[in-house]
Amino acid sequence: MQQVSDASRSPGYDPAPTNSRALIVDSIRSAGTVSRVELTQITGLTAPSVTTLVRRLIDDGLVDEAGRGSSTGGKPRTMLRIRAAARYVVGVHLSAGSLTYVLVDYAGAVVARWRRAGPGDDSDPEQVVERIAAETTELIDRSGIDSSLVLGLGFVCPGPLIRNRGVTSAPPSMTHWVGFPIHRRLEERLGLPALLENDATAAAAGTRLTTSHDVSVMAALFMSEGIGSGLRLNGNVYQGAHGNAGEVGHICVQIGGPQCWCGSTGCLEAIAGPATVVAKARAAGLDLGSPRRTGVAAFAAIARLALTGDSRADAILRDSASWLALGAQTITNMYDVQLLVLTGPAFAVAGTIYLPIIQERILSSAFGRAVNTEVVLDERGHDAAAIGAALMMLRSERAISA
């Protein structure tokens, strides 16, 4: 089958660029500022190759010289940095309940963001393509940049999917997206390269690590309308053969548990995901505002009730957190991560309730205690998937050659 041969060619992870020019750009972007000598050490390219490639990048307006670095005995080295305004990429995160857009500059910084209501449960994919194309154009226009500088678009949605082929199955709210080649339609509509990725994988790429979190192995536990995870190794995200690595929401945590939309039973997402939390809250008679409010918006209403003292809302979320902690512990035990980041729109609104319960679970085990696995909330949880989508597009060979 075509899909199998496609999968067999996949490296399973988002590799560092292989093209020398792309490798130099990626290395300068990762470092912030860096000298030519350091670039030879980082990339393994010869000094004459680095000099030639850097000269071309400066001539093309993609890299700037950034003054002199500190001397290490000899003449101070000229530092290089990415020219941030040279190019841009767009990141889009689609779920039934929300559409998040970000515009990221060539250095990888977010320069504009826009969060919109999602297309809802019964959306027509063609209409959503039209809407995303129009809103992407509006985002670029409003930011005041020259649209010819936009290299491409990274697009993410819930899995499972076949990377860059389409969505293969979907939660009940998005079943009509199955088989629809959304990134191809966006490419046609916008005239830009587009990349399709799983939302949780992209969130791992989009999580900003501070210098105190400069770790080689980190995982992101992602909660939006579903639950997923992503793994980042030395700056590269692990995607799996098809782009579905880390589907922690669909591991069975209860034999004989409730039916899940994926076809299995007892899945973590079916027991403790946002849709179940919302259903439990409604059954308990909690006022979530409009009865039409669904997804993360309804979940956020429960979080607000819990954070303002409603004990029933608090108990429902704490119960969900105790199940999520099993998923978190599975990830940390499987991959021996130094850092676990809780990210995504649902953690952005309820993370303070989930964090201590997940921390306690991980540190309850000898494996977590021995290495003191750190668990933190992502300050950009709402936008991490869209940012990651943009950053993955920025790193891709397609963007470099554009």
Please name the residue ranges forming H helices in 163-294. Answer: 182-190, 199-206, 268-272, 274-283
- Candidate segments 38-46, 175-183, 209-217, 243-251, binder of Zn ion by CB under 5 A: 243-251
> Least CB distance from residue 267 to Zn ion, whole Å?
3
- What token pair was written down for 59? 């001539």
For Cα atoms 355, 361, 367, give the angle at the middle one, nearest 5 degrees: 120
- Candidate segments 21-29, 174-182, 185-193, 246-254, binder of Zn ion by CB under 5 A: 246-254
Q: 79 pairs with which residues across the strands?
A: 35
Phi, psi of 352 (to 5 degrees): -65, -25
- What token pair was written down for 27? 């290395």
> Least CB distance from residue 252 to Zn ion, whole Å?
8
Rule CB under 5 A: is residue 250 a binding residue for Zn ion? yes
- Candidate segments 28-36, 65-73, 215-223, 257-265, binder of Zn ion by CB under 5 A: 257-265
> Least CB distance from residue 293 to Zn ion, whole Å?
24
Q: How far apart are CA 37 and CA 49, in angstroms?
A: 11
Residue 132's H or E segment, with its range, is helix 125-143
Rule CB under 5 A: is residue 260 a binding residue for Zn ion? yes
Q: Which of residues 21-40 bind Zn ion (CB under 5 A)?
A: none
- Candidate segments 49-57, 96-104, 266-274, 309-317, binder of Zn ion by CB under 5 A: 266-274
> Least CB distance from residue 263 to Zn ion, whole Å?
7
> Least CB distance from residue 253 to Zn ion, whole Å?
10
* Count of alpha carbons within 13 angstroms of residue 280, beta-carbon side: 19
Rule CB under 5 A: is residue 267 a binding residue for Zn ion? yes
> Least CB distance from residue 120 to Zn ion, whole Å?
22
Rule CB under 5 A: is residue 42 a binding residue for Zn ion? no
CB closer to Zn ion, 247 vs 310: 247
Which candidate, 40, 8, 11, places its Cα nearest to that of 24? Answer: 40
- Candidate segments 127-135, 204-212, 260-268, 345-353, binder of Zn ion by CB under 5 A: 260-268
CB closer to Zn ion, 265 vs 338: 265
Q: Which of residues 358-397 bind Zn ion (CB under 5 A)?
A: none
CB closer to Zn ion, 107 vs 262: 262
Rule CB under 5 A: is residue 87 a binding residue for Zn ion? no
> What is the distance of C-alpha 117 from the center of its chain?
19
The dihedral of CA 337, 338, 344, 349: what is its sign? positive
Please name the residue ranges forming H helices in 219-364. Answer: 268-272, 274-283, 295-307, 311-335, 345-363
**Cβ–Cβ under 8 Å, residues 50 and 86:** no
> Least CB distance from residue 295 to Zn ion, whole Å?
17
Count of residues touching Zn ion (by CB under 5 A):
5
Per-residue contact string for residues 269-308; x = within reach of Zn ion by CB under 5 A: ----------------------------------------
Q: Name residue, tokens 């409730």.
A: 258
**Cβ–Cβ under 8 Å, residues 340 and 375:** yes
- Candidate segments 79-87, 254-262, 293-301, 305-313, binder of Zn ion by CB under 5 A: 254-262
Q: 82 pairs with which residues across the strands?
A: 63
Of 262, 355, 363, 377, the residue at the interface with Zn ion (CB under 5 A) is 262
CB closer to Zn ion, 10 vs 168: 168
Q: How far apart are CA 230 and CA 210, in angstroms?
A: 18
- Candidate segments 152-160, 192-200, 226-234, 264-272, binder of Zn ion by CB under 5 A: 264-272
Q: 264 pairs with which residues across the strands?
A: none
22 residue type, one letter: A
CB closer to Zn ion, 29 vs 250: 250
* Count of alpha carbons within 13 angstroms of residue 110, beta-carbon side: 20
Binding stretches for Zn ion (CB under 5 A):
250, 260, 262, 264, 267
